[in-house]
Amino acid sequence: MNFYITTPLYYVNDTPHIGHAYTTVVADVLTRYHKLFGTATRFLTGTDEHGQKVQMAAEKRGVAPQEHCDLLVQNFKAIWSELNIDYDIFFRTTDPLHKRAVQEALTQLSDAGEIYHDEYEGWYCVSEEIFYTEKDLVNGKSPNGNEVSKVREKNYFFRMSRFQKPLVEWIESHPEFIQPESKRNEVLGFLRKPLEDLCISRPKSRLSWGIELPFDKDYVTYVWFDALLNYANGVGFLQKDRAAEFHKWWYPPEGGALHLIGKDILNTHAVYWPTMLMALKIPLPRTIFAHGWWLTPDNEKMAKSRGTGISPLDVKNLVGVDALRYFLTRDIFLGNDAQFSVDLVVSRTNSELANNLGNLHSRTTNLLIKFFSGRMPEVVSVSERTQKLATLAQQVPALVRKDIERMAPNLALGHVVDLLNEANRYLEERAPWTAAKTDLPGAAESLRAASEVLRISAMLLSPVMPTKMKELLERIGWSAPFGFAETTQWNLLATGAEVKKGDPLFPRIGS
Ligand code: MSP
């Protein structure tokens, strides 16, 4: 099965904060794991550039919308590069290729009778770019507490209501479609009320920044209708020369998208998008996975608009890119909320990277240098205790893989942490620093076993911390490429390989 993962396309109204970095880092980590497992992968991220929110941001800065987008996109790309994000596709909704495909989709839907013209009267929330009805509002605001304004205009509608029943049936018969289960239940709850048709246009007289409707030049396409199509367009939908590619990534059983999103945009992804696809007669994504939010210390969603957005680069500058990626993968259960604070990042980095991993690494290399001239020693016999550690280590890769495949990366990392803890205990028991003086082969056996745990752990952690784990592997004498098979085998480090000394990979932060 191929692995095609997407992040939301972020609005280019501001620079990304930790929340945006989170989705993108997790998507990158999952992609790198699937690559390690030997799967064909594709990873799409990008920017959502049309709509009122972006138009207003451009106006505020006194520049034309396209110019504004071109500039802000550079911020996203630069930050993703600093965070070591290895995407295959950076999708921009102002790309002419996307415009053509959106217009083609609209033409098809209009020809099929799925679109009609009518009066729209209701409320619009610019910060969410969502239409609300009177009864949706809570104390005069959107259900999420954002400002709304009254809208009354002639618009085009997509006959979304027609697809309510097939959508409910699909969700009920495909448990993997909306995850986690609590979110699936939320969507099913929402679909218990009658589903209305979806307004899919804005008159140019109100909003000019968008993709023109192919059948009425006085209108632009509603931004969500335009943006959601990116996921399919990015892999070739409605582009004649890319039909095979589209098939490969989109069509089950080999293809099928995994949309990783925040829970703030669940309905647009789990209701608008699948009904659009049903009307277009193409398969639905395999999974829409809604993760939780990073919260401020006051337990509110971290958001730029509330002034609580923390810059990922500030955190990176403090702990380094790999430790930040590790924290974002490790400290939150995908699907739940968790608090974000620099103190929490520092404490996780110190306990698991500087102490647990760092101690095992520095003790092992220091002793190898001291007693074995920095060369991986030969092992003559293997004790039961060492065999026990080896057996444990060889069980870890399958556990990691299982948790990655079931979207629990924090637990996947937990298995490696447990192994490292066990290896530290093993060294304490075997005390090679004392043994070396009386039983050199015994010390060789312990240090080699510890090195093997380090090798396996570094390989299994490399999707999360590509740079530091590559360095760790090189320092213990491994510089060859590797795949999942190498993580499952014991004793692969070559006898005589050079062990290098160096500064701690993860220096302790703070006092
Ligand atoms: N443009 C739309 C998405 C269109 S997809 C076709 C959008 N953009 S956004 O810039 O507002 O990004 C929202 C996404 O950013 C969330 O779904 C989530 O992935 C991420 N996050 C923003 N704040 C977040 C937190 N505080 N915590 C975790 N993730 C959050 O919505």
Average pLDDT by consecutive 10-residue portion of the chain (511 residues)? Answer: 98 94 98 98 98 95 97 98 98 98 98 97 94 94 94 97 98 98 98 97 96 98 98 97 98 98 98 98 98 95 87 97 98 97 96 97 98 96 96 98 98 98 98 96 98 98 98 97 98 97 94 58
CB of 302 shorter than 6 A to ligand 1: yes
Amino acid symbol at 152 = R
Start-to-end C-alpha separation, the chain: 48
Looking up tokens 């005390």 gives 431
Read off the tokens for 198.
């979806």
CB of 265 shorter than 6 A to ligand 1: yes
Mutate to test the pocket of ligand 1, among 102, 260, 293 (most ligand atoms within 8 A of CB): 293
Specify the residue with its C-alpha closest to ligand 1, atom 10.
Answer: 10
Mutate to test the pocket of ligand 1, among 15, 92, 130, 264 (most ligand atoms within 8 A of CB): 264
Q: What is the DSSP letter of 465?
A: S
CB of 19 shorter than 6 A to ligand 1: yes
Given a contact cutoff of 8 angstroms between Cβ atoms, the answer to whether 472 and 454 are in contact is yes
Looking up tokens 């980095």 gives 349
Q: How far is the CA of 385 from the centre of ligand 1 (A)?
A: 49
Q: Point out the ligand 1 atom lying closest to the alpha carbon of residue 302.
A: 26
- pLDDT for res 291: 98
SS3 percent helix, strand, coil of the chain, rounded to 5, is 50, 15, 30
List C-alpha distances in Å: 324 to 313, 328, 507.
Answer: 10, 6, 14
- pLDDT for res 28: 99
Specify the residue with its C-alpha closest to ligand 1, atom 19.
Answer: 262
Specify the residue with its C-alpha closest to ligand 1, atom 5.
Answer: 8
Q: How far apart are CA 32 and CA 38, in angstroms?
A: 10
- pLDDT for res 507: 96
Specify the residue with its C-alpha closest to ligand 1, atom 6.
Answer: 228
Type and span of the H or E element at 124? strand 115-125
Contacts of 273 (CB under 8 A, 6+ apart): 228, 231, 259, 285, 288
List C-alpha distances in Å: 98 to 49, 92, 395.
Answer: 12, 8, 46
Q: How far is the CA of 111 from the centre of ligand 1 (A)?
A: 33
Count the alpha carbons within 13 Å of 462 in the hemisphere toward its beta carbon. 24
Q: How far is the CA of 115 from the centre of ligand 1 (A)?
A: 28
Specify the residue with its C-alpha closest to ligand 1, atom 20.
Answer: 20
At 495, is the secondary structure helix, strand, or coil? Answer: coil
What is the reported pTM? 0.97
Q: How far is the CA of 11 from the centre of ligand 1 (A)?
A: 8
CB of 264 shorter than 6 A to ligand 1: yes
Q: Point out the ligand 1 atom lying closest to the alpha carbon of residue 309.
A: 26
Exposed/middle/buried for 241, CB within 10 Å: 0-12, 13-18, 19+? exposed
Alpha-carbon Rg for the chain in angstroms: 26
Order of strands, sheet of 212-213, starting from the edge strand that comes earlier in the sequence: 201-203, 216-221, 212-213
Q: Point out the ligand 1 atom lying closest to the alpha carbon of residue 228.
A: 6
Specify the residue with its C-alpha closest to ligand 1, atom 26.
Answer: 302
Mutate to test the pocket of ligand 1, among 10, 269, 305 (most ligand atoms within 8 A of CB): 10
CB of 8 shorter than 6 A to ligand 1: yes
Specify the residue with its C-alpha closest to ligand 1, atom 13.
Answer: 10
Specify the residue with its C-alpha closest to ligand 1, atom 16.
Answer: 262
Q: How far apart are CA 197 and CA 324, in angstroms?
A: 43
Read off the tokens for 93.
């909704």
Q: How far is the CA of 267 from the centre of ligand 1 (A)?
A: 13
Q: Point out the ligand 1 atom lying closest to the alpha carbon of residue 16.
A: 10
Q: How far apart are CA 153 and CA 216, in angstroms?
A: 15
Read off the tokens for 284.
């639905």
Q: At what angle do helices 181-190 and 164-173 cross, to 10 degrees?
A: 160
Q: How far apart are CA 57 and CA 265, in angstroms?
A: 21
- pLDDT for res 511: 58
Q: How far apart are CA 220 and CA 206, in angstroms?
A: 10
CB of 262 shorter than 6 A to ligand 1: yes
